[in-house]
Copies of this chain bind each other. A is one copy, B any other.
């Protein structure tokens, strides 16, 4: 069984560096104590723009995904910013309603963090 479960919520583009730093520090902190964690990052509103598959993809995002972090986009927000699934980095998961995902995960025992 996983020791910790957390969902990070981001809805502002300017917060991505902070969120990725938070998640990086978290994975390091948990590995030091040989514990395990499930981390999801749920982006809605303008924050979904960061998932666009272009030349500016943050290598930290890719690296965290390789380490098991799940990155999720709200489909309502994608529509609002005119993003199609094929415009996104290939490992991005899409949920119909971002805030509903936040509720479901908290009900499953995930902690909620909004950097």
With A6-B103, A111-B107 already in contact, the answer to whether A97 and B29 are too (CB < 8 A) is yes
Measured between beta carbons, the chain B residues less than 8 angstroms from A102 are 111, 113
The stretch of A20-28, A53-61, A64-72, A86-94 that contacts the partner chain: A20-28
Give the complex CA separation of A5 and B23 in angstroms.
25
Q: How many copies are assembled? A: 3
- Using an 8 Å CB-CB cutoff, how does the interface string of A79-103 with B read, 1 for contact, 0 for none? 0000000000000000011111011
**How far does the alpha carbon of A25 sit from the alpha carbon of B76 in the complex, in Å?**
7
Contact check, A115 vs B11: say whether CB atoms are below 8 A apart.
Answer: yes
Closest to A44 in B: B22
Contacting residue for A22 out of B22, B23, B96, B99, CB 8 A? B99
